[in-house]
Structure 1
Amino acid sequence: MQVSIETTSGLERRLTIGVPADTVEGEIEKRLKEAAKNIRLNGFRKGKVPMKVVKQRYGAGVRQEVVGELISRSFYEAARKEDVKPAGQPSIQPKELSEGKDLEFVATFEVYPEVELKNIEGFDVTRYTAVITDEDIDNMIEILRKQAATWEQVERASADGDQVNIDFTGTKDGVEFDGGKASGHNLVLGSNSMIPGFEAGIVGMKAGEEKTIKVTFPEDYQSDELKGAEAEFLIKVNSVAEQTLPELKKAFFQQYGLEKGGIKAFQKEVKANMERELKNALKAKVKSQVMDKLIESHEVDLPKALVANEVNVLRNQMMQRFGQQPEGFDAKSLLPDSMFEEDAKRRVSLGLIVGEVVKSAQLKADAKAVKKMVEEIATTYEDPAEVVEYYYSQRELLAGVESAVLEDQVVEHILAKADVKEETATYDEIMQPQKAEK
């Protein structure tokens, strides 16, 4: 096999690879002989079809298959020979595919960048602690009650907290705009799910009433056409309903799998869940600071192929959250790359930097920590033992846990060298930081 390599630009490399004709033709001949043993054709007994006929019938298909496999295999052999690590799949350009001649092709690809690890000592990190109070538990129970609430229609004027069913049509300079029209839309007043001024304009309206309200779209609105624009909405209220919260009785507790123990047992269960979530949030808050510091202190060339792959991962995750897609759903058009590019670049950059920290510190996923994390995941299922067994039987699932544990070890490794200060916070400040800041 003949190989030559050149650097075209930055991380891009170009391999020109030649595979001897004897290797190609020999593999094709071998495949055809193997196939001939099982071929059935009218007029011939099984395995007795002449090789000339076999080649006429199946030669082109076998050649295509063999050439494809040889290109793939010889590319990775050439990459190992030249000591380069491809980042993503190569772009293959055949140069010579003719029968009887050496197979020649050009592979263009990106390589993983060299990450120069900067000084990771002395990062300023704040480690938070928080305690769950009785008030926090009561607030959480109220949230759970609201999630299980029912709505009953009323004849009075709408107020904050009510659910209204509305039809609306938005116009800008008298012309309707995309996404500004809906019928039978349910909206909880005070939820702040619409643009500023929209919900406030409905407060006080009764079923059957129509009204035109004026609003101004935020400067950071997702549509360039509507950023900071003044608009009008014609709104018709179809119905007004008030919220009825479930009573703290057995029927409500059963929705959360609690059959006995009453309110005390329910409070205990709620607190246990809150403590688990708080622990994860406190851990994530420290990890986020460490990762931010790593990003700030390193500049890494990012392979376009890795960023593109991460964009697709993020888009697929969002599609899964949406649920089943309607027929004709064009993900790339409705969820363009630009929506995910910034996050994708951050994730790829962090992956490369964290990988270098792992290599530099010679870290390996701690088996005990992996088992503990699997067991913690399993506690949220009905049969934890079965879940633990399943994780250990699925290499891909276990690898995901090992990766998460390794990231935790990287954080601890950096924290040991960081300037860490302790701060106390409330449950809300940790779990709902944006709300706490207001």
Structure 2
Amino acid sequence: MNPEITTEKLGKSQIKLEIKVAKKDFDEYRKKALERLKAEVEIAGFRKGKAPDKMVIEKLGETRVESEALDMTVRESTFLAMAKENIIPIESPKVAIKQFAKDKDLCFTIEVSILPQVILGNYKNIKIKKETVKVEKEEVDKAIEDLRKRMATPIEKKEGLERGDFAEIDFEGSVKGVKLDKLSSQKMPLVVGEIKFIPGFEEKLMGMKKGEEREFELTLPKEGVDDDLKGQQAKFKVKLNELKAIQLPELNQEFAQRLGASEIGDLKKRMEGAIKNQKELEIENKYKIALIDKVAAKTKIEIPESLVNQEKERLIGEFSRQLSMSGMTVEQFLAGQKKTKENLDKDFIIQAEKNVRIGLTLAEISKAENIEATATEIDEEIDRLINEGMSRGLKKSDLVKSYENEAGKRQIEHLIKNKKTIERIAELNS
């Protein structure tokens, strides 16, 4: 079969093909379609595939045969047309039948998105100033104080509650005599003064002793609560279940040695070094992000809408999974933010287009710089991901199933190539 093909470029890396299949060629496909149907249909007195054509058509109906023939013709002639025109699609083509009638040629169109042409701009010698790293004394002191808090010892306390104590409370909040779950909780732990709850709430607890109950009223704030509660007068009933003083370890040589240092001066140097390393890593990441943004902005691409939509749906799916981990659905989030699904799409479409632009740019640079991911690198990354997952309590069998398949390996190969390409761009601009 040799279909007649007319090609039209639609822009944004979309191509439209008009394909005409001669009547005689369609008749050949109709014969093939009928043979396929004959092999499936059961007719009394005949083995499958052996009944006369006329009896098969009478049983199935002419429409079923024509539909099967049309599907087969469109599918195979589309494949032939795209191969002839050297078209590699990035999604399933959209098909529209223009002419399908008895004794006439079949004519249909397909619209398909293809990988766009990527014209790289200059990705070398781009000037971006890196931030300088400076660690303040206050940062070191705060880091050491945080360590003291993490290593603190809770001690049962008989005196009244005060700032800095650990408490566990039950509380019930009501507005206009109606108890509200959103203002109530059981066995809620808190370190008094560290977490901002409802303004004035913790102050009302001061002086309470273990087992004591207390009632008080507060005016709810105009920020951080649901619209129907803003500025409302709420009544609270609180019971103090547990009360412990937090005893911080002394800042001495013993404390330093527990953390692997010889003395306090050595501990401070180590903390300063750790903070500096973390800051350098953050600055390097910010630099690479800014660098890639500039490189991608210089790249000329007509980005297909289909790629942007695919990435948008991926981002929304990831966002949905993150919400579900905190016990919330997308619908609940939208209701709380007074947004619609259309608003969410708009929020993500900009990031999706940016991600696609960066991805296509990195892919083109990796080709220009001959960057590949080796089999050893892929295997090592799979081992690392499996070990990391197991450390979080995931099953090894599930992790192996996720990564050690063709799709998983391709994704890891893609990530490794991107990482190496970003490193190469950073080298070229250092």
The answer to whether TM tops 0.5 is yes
Give deviations 1:82-124, integer Å, cap 9, x for gaps. Answer: 3455443433222123355332222234443332211111233
Equivalent pairs counted in the alignment come to 375
CA contact (8 A) 1:198 1:215 kept: no
Instruction: Map 1:174-253; keep pairs closer than 5 Å.
Output: 182-185=182-185, 199-206=198-205, 209-217=215-223, 231-232=231-232, 234=234, 236-240=236-240
| Whole-angstrom distance in 2 between the partners of 1:94 and 1:244 | 77
How far apart are 1:322 and its partner, in Å? 4.0
1:364 matched to which residue of 2? 372
Residues 61-76 of structure 1: pairs in structure 2 closer than 5 A: 61-76=64-79
Which structure is richer in relative contact order (CA contacts within 8 A, separation 6 or more)?
Answer: 1
RMSD of aligned Cα (Å): 5.2
Match of 1:32 in 2: 34
1:104 aligns to what SS in structure 2?
strand
Report the equivalent of 2:58.
56
Q: Is the 8 A contact 2:193 2:202 kept in 1?
A: no
- State the match for 1:402 in structure 2: 413
CA distance in 2, matches of 1:412, 1:348: 19
Residue in structure 2 matching 1:113, options 116, 130, 143: 116
- Name the residue aligned to 1:81: 84
SS where residue 95 of structure 1 aligns?
strand
2:106 is equivalent to residue 103 of structure 1: yes
Question: Is residue 121–residue 417 contact of structure 1 (8 Å, CA) maintained in 2?
Answer: yes
> Partner residue of 1:268?
none
Query: For 2:375 and 2:131, how far apart are their aligned partners in 1?
Result: 26
Partner Cα separation in structure 2 for residue 198 and residue 129 of structure 1: 35
- Which amino acid in 1 is paired with 2:405? Q
Give the letter for the 1:318 counterpart: F
**Residue 23 and residue 165 in structure 1: after superposition, are their counterparts in 2 closer, same or farther (change >3 A)?**
farther
Secondary structure of 1:7's counterpart equals strand
Q: Deviations over 1:346-365 (max 9, x none)?
A: 21111111111122222222
Which letter does structure 1 place at the counterpart of 2:184? G
Whether the 8 Å contact between 2:122 and 2:295 is mirrored in structure 1 is: no
Distance 1:193 1:71 in 2: 67
Question: Residues of 2 paired with 1:236 and 1:188: CA distance?
Answer: 17
**What TM-score comes out, normalization by structure 1 length?**
0.65
Structure 2: tracts of 5 or more residues without a match: 206-212, 248-257, 261-273, 336-340
Query: Could you report, residue by residue, the CA deviation over 1:160-199 in whole angstroms, capped at 9, with x for unpaired residues?
Result: 765655556899xxxxxxxx982535776689999xx753
Structure 1 residues 30-429: aligned runs within 5 Å: 30-37=32-39, 39-58=41-60, 59-123=62-126, 124=128, 126=130, 162=167, 182-185=182-185, 199-206=198-205, 209-217=215-223, 231-232=231-232, 234=234, 236-240=236-240, 284=285, 287-298=288-299, 300-323=301-324, 336-380=344-388, 381=390, 393-419=404-430
Query: Aligned residue for 2:264?
Result: none
CA distance change for structure 1 residues 4 and 48 in 2, over 3 Å: closer, same or farther? closer
Residues 141-176 of structure 1: per-residue CA shift (max 9 Å, x gap): 966x89xx99x9x996686765655556899xxxxx
Quick one: distance in 2 between partners of 1:25 and 1:333? 54
Normalising by the residue count of structure 2, what TM-score does the alignment of the two structures yield?
Answer: 0.66
3-state secondary structure, aligned to 1:399: helix
Return closer, same or farther for 1:233/1:182 CA change in 2, 3 Å cut-off. farther
Deviation at 1:402, TM superposition (A): 0.9
User: Contact between 1:211 and 1:234, CA under 8 Å: does it hold in 2?
Assistant: yes
Q: Which amino acid aligns with 1:374?
A: I
Deviation at 1:400, TM superposition (A): 1.5
Larger radius of gyration: 2
Secondary structure of the structure 1 residue equivalent to 2:97:
strand
Q: Is the 8 A contact 2:29 2:72 kept in 1?
A: no
Q: Secondary structure at the match of 1:27?
A: helix
Residues 14-51 of structure 1: per-residue CA shift (max 9 Å, x gap): 32222233333322322322442453233545444321
Q: SS of 1:49's equivalent? A: coil
Tell me how far apart the structure 1 counterparts of residues 410 and 192 of structure 2 sit (CA, whole Å).
40
Asked if 2 retains the 8 angstrom alpha-carbon contact of 1:31 and 1:62, the reply is yes
* Deviation of 1:310 (Å): 0.8
Q: Is the 8 A contact 2:33 2:72 kept in 1?
A: no
Aligned in 2, Cα 1:140/1:318: closer, same or farther, shift over 3 Å? farther
CA distance 1:78–1:33, shift in 2 (3 Å): closer
**Post-superposition offset of 1:408:** 1.6
| Cα 1:27–1:322 shift into 2, 3 Å | same
Q: Any gaps of 5 or more consecutive residues in structure 1?
A: 172-179, 248-262, 266-273, 420-438
Q: Deviations over 1:350-394 (max 9, x none)?
A: 111111112222222233332332232233337999899767841
